[in-house]
Amino acid sequence: MTSEVLGKVNTLLASFSTSFGSSAPARQSNIRKATGFINGTLLAPGEVFSYNDTVGPRISRLGWRKAPAFENGAVVQSAGGGICQTSTTLYNAVLRANLKIVARRGHTMPVHYVPAGCDATVDYGSQDFKFENSTGGPLYIEASSDGGRLKYNLFGVAEAKPGQIDIVTGRRMGNRRGGFSVAAYRVIHEADGTTKRESLGVSSYRPMAAH
């Protein structure tokens, strides 16, 4: 991309933030580490962002600390625990920028930092979060984790600025095991006054409180 094209990446397309200030030090460390890998990412038009390719494997010898994570229906101590808050926060910014989701799956249990149906789990080697830069121009990701606040800003060309976008969830549907499922939708309000409702899929959760 030429400097002339990059110079046009000056419009905030969407922003989303979550809080992690009350988390244990190890979890906070993992969130900051993952955020550092993502901050400054520049995507060409049509390029697909892969969370796992960007952040890399989460193992102790690479500096990832053990913190609570979901595994097989239980909460365990795992290297890199907590980083799903970064993939989830990014996912919500991506939704509001009206970008194309390529791969996303919710957790097996609900999390505390976003509503059910709005999360995006990652697990290196098995589950990735991917989206396509479908803006038609370059896309820049600015990520910060200061003061216990995790924030993702997505910048692009002015022409890619979407109209109002709402993320809504349907009624929770319980099951016999005590868990529930919930559907999520992206509601896009077009400039001409029309509204488009896009399904984001159904997420199913086991009956266990998040940590």
Judge whether 175 lies within some domain. Answer: no
**CB-based burial of residue 90 (10 Å sphere; 0-12 exposed, 13-18 middle, 19+ buried)?**
buried
Query: Which domain range does residue 38 map to?
Result: 3-161
Judge whether 203 lies within some domain. Answer: no
Phi and psi based region of residue 148 (left: phi greater than 0; alpha: psi -120 to 50; beta: remaining): left
The lowest-confidence range among 50-64, 145-159, 195-209 is 195-209
Q: Please answer whether residues 147 and 21 qualify as being in contact, where contact means their C-beta atoms are separated by less than 8 angstroms.
A: yes
Judge whether 208 lies within some domain. Answer: no
**Calpha distance 142→144 (Å, rounded):** 7
Q: Which among 21-25, 43-47, 161-165 has the top mean pLDDT?
A: 43-47
From the list 101, 61, 75, 54, the residue with the least C-alpha distance to 198 is 101
pLDDT digits (tens, 9 = 90+) for 12-35: 999 999 999 999 999 999 999 999
Mean pLDDT, rounded, of the chain: 92
- N residues, the chain: 211
pLDDT digits (tens, 9 = 90+) for 94-117: 999 999 999 999 999 999 999 999
pLDDT at 174: 80
The neighbouring-strand residues paired with 169 are 184
Q: What is the dihedral of CA 18, 204, 94, 124, to 10 degrees?
A: 90
**Calpha distance 199→177 (Å, rounded):** 26
> Per the structure block, which two tokens stand in for 175?
């099951």
Mean pLDDT of 182-188: 97
Mean pLDDT of 192-204: 94
pLDDT digits (tens, 9 = 90+) for 72-95: 778 888 889 999 999 999 999 999
Rg (CA), the chain: 17
Judge whether 51 lies within some domain. Answer: yes
Question: In percent, how much of the chain has pLDDT > 90?
Answer: 79
Q: How many domains is the chain partitioned into structurally?
A: 1
